[in-house]
Each structure stands twice: as C-alpha cells, then as structure tokens.
Amino acid sequence: MTDREQATLPENDAESDERDDETAEQATVADELPVENGVAATGASAEADVSEPAPEPVAESESLAWAEATGAFVLGVLPADDAAAAAQEYAHSAALRAEVATLLPVADILLNLYQTQPAPAAGTAAALVATPAERAPSELTRRVETPRPQPGARPAMPTIGGLRPSSILIGVFALIAAIGVLWALSLNDRIATKNDEITALHRQVDQFRQAANASAFTLSPTSNGPEGARGTVFYSLADSRVIIDVSGLPELDQDRVYQVWFQRSGSNAWEPGPTFLVNQQGESVQRLPGETPTFARIAVSEEPAPGSSEPSGDFLLEGVLAGGNG
Amino acid sequence: MSSLPSIAVAPGVEISPATDDPLVARRAEVTRELLREGIRGLSPLERDALRLATRERLSVPDAAAQLGIEPNEVEANLRSGLLRLRQSLIEQLGESEL
C-alpha cells in the first residue's frame, strides 16, 4: 500500500491502533483488493496529495447512516448531496464498497431493461460519487436533484479534513463499476446459455403437442373464470417434465398473482402449487412439479402475492389430471 | 423476432424491448424471464420502490412521497429488493457460476 493510500484511507490513520476488530477486518478486506487499490492510487494521483490531512475515522453511528442506501445509490436515485455523502462513507468501508459492487450488476440489468437511460456502468457510477458540480448534465443528474426532506433521521456527515469527494473516490467506484460491468458481461454470457433452457421450455409446448408419448390435460374456465380462458397441462413420459400453458387470463392488479392448486384423489384439500403472471396477451407457460399427473384435479385461482397456502379466491380454471382417472 | 411484445414482469410492470437486434432482444428476453421469477418473490413495497426507481426514475424523496413512506424506508426496500433479485438470479444461474 502506498503512502498516498495510507494518507487517504481512514483505516490507516495515525489512530489506527485504536480501531476495533471490525475496522481491522475491513482494512484487511480492502488490502485484499490489489486491483482496486491500484486504481485508487492512480485516481488519487490526479488530485489527492499526501500532504492533505487524512480523513477522520467515521464514527460508528455515522458509519451506519448510509448502509441502507446502497440500493438507492447504485440505482442513482439519491439526491445529489446524499449521493456525495454516501460515496464518502462507502469509500471508508470495505463492507459497504463490497455491497455496492454486489448490487451494481443487478441495478445495471434492471435499468438496461427499461432502456430509460444508460445503465450505471463505469462512467455513470463514477459520476454518482462526483460532486454535483462535477456531474455532467444528464437525465441522471436531473432526477437526483430533488431536495431531500429532512425528518431528522439522517445524522450529518462529518467534515473530513477539508477533503472533498476527490478523484480517489471516483477511481474506487470506477473500479467497482468496472467489476460490475465484467460481472454483468459474464452474466450476459450465462444468460445466453440459460436462454437455451428457457427457449426449450417454450418449444416444449409444441413438442409436447406433437409427441406420441406425451399426455395433455385440459383446464376449462369455471363459472367465475374469464370466458375464453383455457389451460393445458402437458406431461412428457420421456423425461417426466410437466408444463402448464394458459391463455385468456387478464393481467392482474399489483400485489396479485395466479396460483396453481392440486387435489389428490379422495381428498377435498387443495395443495398449493407455483404462482405465475401472464403477459399482455394473457398467456403464460410454467413448469409444474413432476408429480403433477399423480393428482386428481388441478385448478388456477387469483391470490394475493406472493401466493397462498390455501385458496382464498375463486377458481378460474379447473381440470382433471391422470390421478383422477385411476 | 424483429418486434417483440411487451412482457409483464410484475403486476403493473411491463418491459418493452427497445431494440430490434436479435441477439440483444434474445438476451433481454431471457433476462426478463429470470427477473420475472425474482420479482415475484419480492414484497409489495420492494416491488413498488424498484418500479418507481427504475421505471419511473423517481428520486428517493419523490418515491417516498408517492408511496407515503419515509425516504429511509424507500432506501431500505430498494436495497433489500436488489439483494433478493440478485439472490434469485444466483439461484437460477447457479451460485458456482457467480
């Protein structure tokens, strides 16, 4: 670790002898990130000077102030002042930096899916930790400038020896973001691989329809079900895979899901199955447990999310399975 | 595959592919499938907070005002929601792969 790093990391402050075990552990974790330290040193070289006073260690209560805000931070929805303060705190905590790095790829994927703006990749994440003046005018800037109400829930962040969120922070978070991007790219590759399975799932419906060794069970709408709704359970004898293909079900309000129910022969009890949602066309294809054909009846109801242990709503679709024939 | 339909990933949450690139659209489609499974496991408040933050692009104070809760509650739900989505992806893709 360089002198510059020692001068800018609180774990290496002159008072480090007094740090507790947890802080020591964080410093150890930080030391185990050689690439990160390298980038931090590079970033620091632009502005931070070893002659600058080292930041004061963040008090325990204050160090927790932004721990819950990592999600909002990586999504870029913290107000500008809060984002800068959070960035300072994260720079002082290996654990929080690790969590930010953990959440970045997920936030990146979510934001990319919505296509409302570029994902918080390396450059954007660096912008997140920059001061408002350093931010490039962007959609990201616009949406985080709303002043935050001050209900008194947040302790004020300390002044850290006059040290502003400098390029060392940008370097640290640029690296975190870079790790996130690499993770995301790796994830995309795995997603592409996973796609084979997902695509096969959809294709299997057609394959099942044509397979000589496949059985199909029909679900029909009940008196409470939407007219035109239907469902088909396909069971492949070859590999014991079971799929339900439903259509004609309306999209649900928030906090509602469709749920599959099974009933055994000779029993009046309904056992809970998986939940699902439908697309805009009212369609869904879901896997069902391999034992599905052993049940006598199957039904679909609308339930409060994330699902129920017993039916609370009317059945919309019902059908007879193989277990009901023997 | 040049025109993919919007897909509901959660009640009230739909995603419309913004590209005609087959590869990009294909990956987005798979990602939506994975996320849809993950979003199902979130609490209503986590879903609302993530929807406002990612789809509506509201800041934390604005999202808090819309949901009628404190900003720190929004932050807590964004964090827990992302962590649970990540866990869901890990479970579907395999932890060893991550």
Distance CA A50, CA A44 (A): 9
Average pLDDT over residues A91-96: 82
Say whether residue B26 is in contact with chain A using an 8 A CB cutoff: yes
Cβ contacts (< 8 Å) between A147 and chain B: which residues? 61
C-alpha span between A301 and A311 (Å, rounded):
7
Using the beta-carbon criterion (under 8 Å), do B62 and A146 form an inter-chain contact?
yes
Task: Report the residue from B8, B42, B83 with minimal CB separation from A251.
Answer: B8
**What residues pair up with A302 in beta bridges, in sequence order?**
A258
Res A107: pLDDT = 84
What the block records as the tokens of A223 is 């008196």
Q: Looking at chain A, which runs of residues are DSSP E strands?
A: 214-221, 230-236, 242-247, 256-263, 270-276, 284-288, 297-304, 315-320
> Residues of A with CB below 8 A from B72's CB?
68-69, 153-154
Contact B82 A103 (CB under 8 A): yes
Q: Do A114 and B54 touch (CB under 8 A)?
A: yes
Tokens of A76: 């870029």
Residue ranges of B 56-85 with Cβ closer than 8 A to chain A: 57-64, 70-72, 74-83, 85
What DSSP character marks residue A156?
Answer: P
More confident residue, A289 or A267: A267
* 3-state SS class at A260: strand
Band the pLDDT of B7: cuts 50, 70, 90. very low
Report the sign of the C-alpha dihedral through residues A265, A270, A275, A279, in that order.
positive
What SS3 state is found at A79?
coil
Contact B86 A111 (CB under 8 A): no
pLDDT given at position A156:
39
Say whether pLDDT at B92 is over 50.
yes
Confidence grade of residue A256 (pLDDT, cut at 50, 70, 90): confident
Query: Touching check for B87 and chain A: CB below 8 Å?
Result: no
**What are the chain A neighbours of B15 within 8 Å (beta carbons)?**
113-114
Cα-flanking dihedrals φ and ψ of residue A319, to 5°? Answer: -160, 165
Distance CA A38, CA A171 (A): 9
As a whole number of angstroms, the distance between CA A13 and CA A26 comes to 14
Determine the Cα–Cα distance for residues A153 and A144; give it in Å rounded to an integer: 19
How far does A298 lie from chain B, in Å, by closest CA?
22
From B29, B61, B76, residue closest to A146, measured CB to CB: B61
Give the pLDDT of residue A217: 81
B26-75 per-position pLDDT tens digit: 655 666 677 777 888 899 999 999 999 988 889 999 999 999 999 999 99
The ipTM estimated for the assembled molecules is 0.74
Residue (of A247, A245, A249, A246) closest to A206 by Cα position? A245
- Secondary-structure breakdown of chain A: helix, strand, coil percentages, each rounded to the nearest 5: 45, 15, 35
Rounded to the nearest angstrom, the gap between the alpha carbon of residue A158 and the centroid of all alpha carbons in its chain is: 31
DSSP 8-state symbol, A133 = G
The more confidently predicted of residues B14 and A305 is: A305
Q: What is the pLDDT of residue B73?
A: 95
Number of Cβ within a 10 Å radius of residue A155? 12
Torsion sign across C-alpha atoms A169, A171, A172, A177: positive
Of B5, B11, B31, the CB nearest to A256: B11
Residue type, A254: Q
Are the C-beta atoms of A141 and B59 separated by less than 8 Å? no
DSSP B54: I
Q: Which of B59, B86, B95 is the mutation pick for testing A, counting most A CBs within 10 A? A: B59
How near does any CA of chain B get to the CA of A171, in Å? Answer: 23
Handedness of CA B67, B71, B74, B78 (dihedral sign): positive
Pairwise CA distance, residues B97 & A231, whole Å = 35
pLDDT of residue B22 exceeding 80: no
Beta strands A214-221 and A256-263, pairing class: unpaired
Q: Residue A219: is its pLDDT beyond 60?
A: yes
Average pLDDT for chain A: 62
Q: And the tokens for A27?
A: 């410093």
Indicate if the pLDDT at residue A144 is higher than 70. Answer: no
| Cβ contact A192–B26 (<8 Å) | yes
- Between B92 and B69, the more confident residue is B69
pLDDT in tens, A290-321: 778 788 899 999 988 878 888 998 999 999 88
